[in-house]
Structure 1
Amino acid sequence: MENCSVCSCDRPTLMVTNDDGIDAPGLRALVQVLVSTGRYNVLVCAPDSEKSAVSHSITWRHPLAVKQVQIDGATAFAVAGTPADSASLGVSKALFPTVPDLVLSGINMGSNCGYHIVYSGTVAGAREAFFNGVPSVSISYDWVGGVSCNEDYKLSAEACLPIINAILVDIKNQSYPQRCFLNIDLPVNVANHKGYKLTKQGKSIFQMGWRQVTSDKQGGKMLSTMTMDTNSPASTEIETPVISAENLLFKRELLAAFMDEGTDYQYVKEGYITVTPLGALSPAEVDCQDYFKDWLLRATEHCSSSAL
């Protein structure tokens, strides 16, 4: 299998993945913008269907079906797996003969900030590349139904080019940090964004509850975007529940939204393009570490004395 980077060694190789599926307009717009610059070799390795909110799940027990897909200017494959599967396969040299210089995961339909980063398949695609030692960036656009349109994905991709190019320069100079990856969120009005802001992951979350329903159609379908915007177009659900007299059906519903100040979600809502460094680990906050220093000793001593 020939990779265009073999004949274009002077151009860096970018690999694109996502969680909305290889046919998603966000991925297609990103690839189109990258190809149009003529500056990169572009590879695509993405799920063959929508896999939103699957987090970092992987396929373990059976082989993955992979099919080549026609995308102008790129070498592209659709994977019957998760975003993490796609990223792992794409950087493994099992599918492409070379490891990409940079992996881009997106552009997602909906922002991925705060606690939603944990659920995000888009972020997981970048994280998986990071696990494998490949620099990576997850990219999400804060889609709002009735306001956003597919052209906003193209504008988002173009707005990311300065960051992508700066990363590639640092990679070439061997000065790019290897202990983190980046998460980029672009605001609704990306055409008139307020600039780029380095942020930190916050604790914002859309709290979800459950409501019992009598059919799989009642209450609408879950949305592909992690923003859970009630005005966004609904996505196709991956699985349809089996209806029977023995089954009780429950549907998720939005209860409340929580946003903390001075973090990623606040700034993207204010109109900034947020750039948030992320790590693979999730250490507890300092006060929790301090609490458990003596707690574990006391707990185990009590257990030992009680056993006597």
Structure 2
Amino acid sequence: MDGTSIGSGDRPTVMVTNDDGIDAPGLRALVRVLVSTGRYNVLVCAPDSEKSAVSHSITWRHPLAVKKAEIDGATAFAVSGTPADSTSLGVSGALFPSIPDLVISGINMGSNCGYHIVYSGTVAGAREAFFNGVPSVSISYDWVGGKSVVHDYTLSAEACLPIINAILVDIKNQTYPEGCFLNIDLPMDVANHKGYKLTKQGRSSYKMGWRQVTSDSQGGKMLSTMTMETDSAASNEIDTQIVRADHLLFKREVLSASVGDGIGTDFQSLKEGYITVTPLGALSNAEIDCQAYFKDWLPRAAL
């Protein structure tokens, strides 16, 4: 952790990013709560617009446009790239004078459990920090349309403060593990959560399908944002790219809801009302039974 800002008596530096965009209420609530404690130097480096479900995509061929943003109590920049781009730039030393001690990605609108972790730009923002040797956390709130309210983001941020503080203490003491980053999901009824629970990534996912649509039904525009929760406000996001008349249009749709996949998994525990804390690595390893199968299979296949 060379170059980080924690020192004797110094306030640690926390950088916030996300995938819902720098103006998203989840990010703004998280920053407000962090700033209000007076315990951290708060930086923000986040996409300038909504970038949900872009996974760990990065911008390679073109420069990023970066613009100063006004967020009370924080030094903030909006970036034209992806969540991974934003984190990479923010921890590089090229934008800020020092490397942050901790990167927090979120608070996302909607949970990120099971296989959805692969799609998540929020998780990618934390994973990119991990790739660069900076401790990180991704945070998501299980937003449910018609039940959740914007204030739930503030409650979620406050509920995560003990974890954030504990991580920073271990970082200062040089005892925090370097082999993982954390993915935190907060239940819909966050005000009455059942406590923190250490979980493992499960296999939950929504069964997705496709439905052909016409340009007339979409106002001549193509829906581009994949929304896991169909009642989420994010489902109204549309791309302004005009579709040519000779193109067919297909829109994603949810065919069946995600289900829990066992005791101790992230999705199941989240639905039981716990704040789930899931350590993640850079890669998803194959299941043990698959490893055993291919250990015998490969020599035969190579004959």
TM-score, normalised by the number of residues in structure 1: 0.91
Larger radius of gyration: 1
Equivalent residue, structure 2, for 1:11: 11
1:6 to 1:136, Cα distance in 2 relative to 1, 3 A:
closer
Partner of 1:293: 295
What are the superposed Cα offsets for residues 269-294 of structure 1, whole Å, 9 maximum, x if unpaired? 11110000000011111111111112
Deviation track 1:96-144 (CA, whole Å, cap 9, x = no partner) reads 0100000000000000000000000000000000000000000000001
- Residue aligning to 2:24: 24
Match of 1:304 in 2: none
- The 3 A distance-change label for structure 1 pair 99 and 187 is same
Which is further off, 10-19 or 208-217? 208-217
CA distance in 2, matches of 1:38, 1:28: 16
Amino acid at match of 1:273: I
Q: What is the aligned-residue RMSD (CA, Å)?
A: 2.0
- Which sits farther off after the overlay, 57-66 or 229-238? 229-238
Say whether the 8 Å CA contact 2:184–2:277 is kept in structure 1: yes
Residue 241 (structure 1) shift: 4.8
Determine helix, strand or coil for the equivalent of 1:163.
helix
Mapped to 1, the partners of 2:41 and 2:207 lie a distance apart of 41
1:68 & 1:157 partners in 2: Cα distance? 24
Shift of the alpha carbon at 1:236?
A: 1.8
Q: Which amino acid aligns with 1:138?
A: S
How much has 1:243 moved relative to structure 2?
3.3
* Structure 1 pair 120–295 and aligned structure 2 pair: CA distance change class (3 A): same
Contact 2:106 2:139 in 1 (8 A): yes
Structure 2: how far apart are the matches of 1:241 and 1:287?
Answer: 47
TM-fit CA distance, 1:7: 12
For residues 240 and 111 of structure 2, what CA distance do their matches in structure 1 show? 24
Task: Please say if residues 6 and 101 of structure 2, whose CA atoms lie closer than 8 Å, have aligned partners that are also in contact.
Answer: no
Shift of 1:79: 0.4
2:79 aligned partner, one-letter code? V
- CA deviations over 1:240-290 (Å, ceiling 9, x no partner): 35131x211111111112321221011111111000000001111111111
2:140 is aligned to 140
**Partners of 2:223 and 2:239 within 8 A in 1:** no
Kindly provide the amino acid, as one letter, of the partner of residue 294 in structure 1: D
Deviation sequence 1:219-256 (CA, Å, 0-9, x none): 9956665xx22322224234535131x21111111111
Assess if the C-alpha contact under 8 Å between 1:19 and 1:83 holds in 2: yes
Distance 1:222 1:194 in 2: 36
The percent identity for this pair of structures is 78
Structure 1 unaligned blocks of 5 or more: 302-308
Contact 1:194 1:272 in 2 (8 A): yes
Q: Distance in 2 between matches of 1:182 and 1:119?
A: 16
Which residue matches 2:112? 112
In 2: Cα distance, 1:155 partner to 1:258 partner: 25
